[in-house]
Amino acid sequence: MRLLYALLLLLVPVLGVYTFVTADQHGWWFPDNVSTYGPSIDRLFYLIQAMVAITFIGTEVLLAWFMYKYSKRRDDRGVFSHGNHKLEMVWTAIPAVLLLVIAFAQMGTWAEIKFQKGFPDGEFSMDRPIAEVVASQFDWRAIYPGEDGVIGTMDDLENPFEFVVPVDEDVVFNLRSRDVIHAFFVPQFRLKQDALPGHTIPVWFNATEEGVYDLICAELCGWGHYKMAGRVRVVSRPEYDQFLADLDQEWFSNGMEEVQ
């Protein structure tokens, strides 16, 4: 019986590690990254994983081993010990250092993604965002500024469901919600940001591969939360310009018919 329990406890690190190692083959791992800051997020994940794995395997194996070794029936008494000051200092200091490493290792990436001071300042910037992405129960729409480059004016172009952006460019957009809290999540971009009613939140990313990506609402927003799907389409610059021209055409002509 002792062996059974010890093996059971040992199964946790063994199967745990096995699952993580083989997860990629089963598709139980990260979706491919297509953003510029994605790799540093993934690197951080793997750095933490390395430290966690060592601690995990070490402590779980010790636990299983102790449970096996010291559950043997014996007539004598156990070790009469209330602790060991030196040992405890060691196992306090080492994790403390490791944790500080983790804390400092991530600050740069966090600042790069979130601090507005460091936001891209090219064609698209916090002053001239590419578009405003508006969430509401249960859909997404992208509002492009039109020719005047200013959002909230008569020539705005509204594209429901799909947010189209040019590839390999720093894209800054404003995120808004009309009703409750939603969240803008594109797994391949490693990007998630809540859309907060009453606030306009600037967000940036740089997508490195053309393609169509699921835009997922990641904050509970009501009964239809599960179907609040959108799309981010990353296209080449010419295609992007064409898209805007088409949208302008569509929006403009529709508008004229209504006026007449």
Residues 212-251 binding other proteins (CB under 8 A) are 213-214, 216, 218-227, 229
* 161 binding other proteins? (CB under 8 A): no
- CB-side exposure of 8: number of CA atoms within 13 Å? 6
Asked, as a colleague might, if the bond just before 119 is cis with ω within 30 of 0, I would say no
Considering only 7, 39, 66, 245, the residue that binds other proteins (CB under 8 A) is 66
Q: Are 135 and 177 in contact (CB under 8 A)?
A: yes
Phi, psi of 160 (to 5 degrees): -75, 150
Longest dimension (CA), the chain: 100
State which residue, 159 or 193, has the beta carbon closest to other proteins.
193
Q: In whole angstroms, what is the distance from residue 66 CA to residue 9 CA? A: 11
Q: Which of residues 92-131 bind other proteins (CB under 8 A)?
A: 92, 95-96, 99-100, 102-103, 106-107, 109-111, 113-116
State which residue, 191 or 235, has the beta carbon closest to other proteins.
191
Q: Which of residues 18-57 bind other proteins (CB under 8 A)?
A: 19-20, 23, 26-31, 37, 40-41, 44-45, 48-49, 51-52, 55-56
Considering only 7, 39, 50, 59, the residue that binds other proteins (CB under 8 A) is 59
* 16 binding other proteins? (CB under 8 A): yes
Nearest to 184 by CA among 231, 243, 145: 231
